Each structure stands twice: as C-alpha cells, then as structure tokens.
Amino acid sequence: MESKRILVTGSNGQLAQSLAVVNKSLSHELFLLDRQSLDISNADEWREKLDDIDPDVVINCAAYTDVEGAEDHREAAFSINDSAAVLASRLTAERDKRFIHISTDYVFDGKASRPYTEQDGTAPLNVYGASKLAGEQGILDLKSDALIFRVSWLYSPFGKNFVKTMNHLFGTRDEVNVVNDQIASPSSALTFGRFLLECALEGGEPGLYHYSEHGEASWFDLATAVNELTGKRAQVHPVDSEYFPTKAERPAYSKLDNRKIETIFAPQIPHWRESLESCLNYE
C-alpha cells in the first residue's frame, strides 16, 4: 500500500496512540491532533486543518467515552459523539477524502443470544450508546465515502482502560471481584489500529462494519487472563453486575459478528487472548 497522509483526531486517546505505535513499521504520514490543536466542533478550524494538511484520510478517534459521565452530561456527549463527528465527516466528504469513524457495541441492548450483525436493530441502554448511534446515523445520512467501525471493549498499553486497571490491582491486592455477567469480545487497540492502517485506508464499500476479535469473554474472563498472563497471584472472584451499581446500564451480551469485515477487507484478526498477550508484552 502506498503511503497516505492521515489526519487523526483525539491524539491523547488510546486508539490514536496505538495508531502512532503501529505506524512505526509502516510508511504513512500521521498528523495527530489533540483538542488544543483542533476544536472538532468548529467548522472553520476543521477547514483550516484540512486545507493545511490536505490528508488522504481522516480517522476520527475523538470521542466522549466516559460512559458514567455521559449520564450527567448528555449535551457534551452528543456534542462530541454526534454533532462534531457528523461535521468532520461532512467537511471531509466535501474534499472527496475518506473518513473513518469509530463507534461502539453499546448501540445494542444486549438481549441477543448470538453475535450482533450490522443489520440488527439498535437499542442503546445508556446516553453514551445513544450519542454514538446518533453520530453513526448522521454520518450514514451523508452518503459519503465514510467507514464506521463498531468495536467493543477496547484496551491498550495507553491511557485508562480495564486491562491496565486490572494489571495494577493484581499487583496491589490479594483478591479482586470482577463482573461475570457482561459478555463481548475484548479488542486490542494495537491490533485494531493495525487493521485500520493496513486494510481500511482504501477499498471497501462505504458504510457500517463490525470489528471483533475471535472468541468472547466476560470481564471476569478477561481479568483472569490478565492475571494468568502477567504471572500475578491475585484471587479473582466472579460477581454479578449488581455488585457494582452504576448510573449507566450496560448490555449483557454485545459480541459483534465480524463476518462482513472479514469478507470485505480480509484482515488477519486474532483470538482476543492472543492480542491480549501481545499487548501485555508491549514495551
């Protein structure tokens, strides 16, 4: 693949940082922008950056990801996850460039008994999921060359995420309780980032796709794997969600069906445990 000029928003987030790491073995030119470099809600600033950088692709990693906080800050969540995302997609489309947007499994209510496909009906249980769904719909309504990738349970060596939290707790506590009644597929931002930079920059029909690593797990399963792979000796105990009351309701089952993405892009998607081991060994 020829080198691309890629504008990446949300540079302080774990996915953008993972893209930067993955790109060290590739040849793309990344322009990583944080909120000080670009106000993603400001059309004039967007036009200026698009004109100055002239990217081939825009990857929108900027998002309001605080699921609990969104319950109290609905306007902020929708401003970033919906309005700003649609604005960025529209302005990118006006320049006939590819736009890649990241969404979530939380657009579903978790009542399914098999992995969700792109054709399944959505019914978010919380404000975060509703804001991400609104952004998806707004981007799709533009009918542009945009790709939307739903991904679940993203983690990485960077920022705040479940895997890093568990790894820390296992080094400081003898026993840890972890929820066992929510199930999806954990996704390494390093693995997902490589897919984006190797497969999604060109080709593929515009529209909605599910990225999901093989296998599925509960948060307890994921925590147990972290405990084992790091050689920690903590006792990990499974508990129901009611053990940790939250403002935002989470889907009980949100595994994403990745058959469409495998058919269209033919990526090398590993089992989640393989990606987890690679992430934990990252230096």
pLDDT at residue 202, as a whole number? 85
- Domain ranges, ordered by start, for the chain: 5-160+186-215+253-270
DSSP β-bridge partners for residue 146: 99
For residues 168 and 172, what is the distance between their CA atoms, to the nearest angstrom? 7
- The per-residue pLDDT for range 207-235, each reduced to its tens digit, is 999 999 999 999 999 999 999 999 988 99
Sequence-ordered strand ranges (E) for 117-216: 146-151, 154-155, 175-179, 183-184, 187-188, 207-211
Q: Which residues does the annotation mark as catalytic? A: 128
In terms of C-beta density within 10 A (0-12 exposed, 13-18 middle, 19 or more buried), how is residue 160 classed? Answer: exposed
- The per-residue pLDDT for range 29-81, each reduced to its tens digit, is 999 999 999 999 999 999 999 999 999 999 999 999 999 999 999 999 999 99
For residues 36 and 31, what is the distance between their CA atoms, to the nearest angstrom? 14
For residues 203 and 234, what is the distance between their CA atoms, to the nearest angstrom? 46
Phi, psi of 54, rounded to the nearest 5 degrees: 50, 60
For strand 57-60 and strand 98-104, is the pairing parallel, antiparallel, or unpaired?
parallel
Percent of the chain scoring above 70 in pLDDT: 99
Tell me the chain's radius of gyration from C-alpha atoms: 18
The two counts, helices (H) then strands (E), for the chain are 11, 12
- The per-residue pLDDT for range 88-127, each reduced to its tens digit, is 999 999 999 999 999 999 999 999 999 999 999 999 999 9
- Class of domain 5-160+186-215+253-270 as given by CATH: alpha beta
In the block, tokens 């930067």 appear at: 20
pTM of the predicted model as reported, rounded to 2 decimal places: 0.95
Q: What is the mean pLDDT of residues 185-191?
A: 97
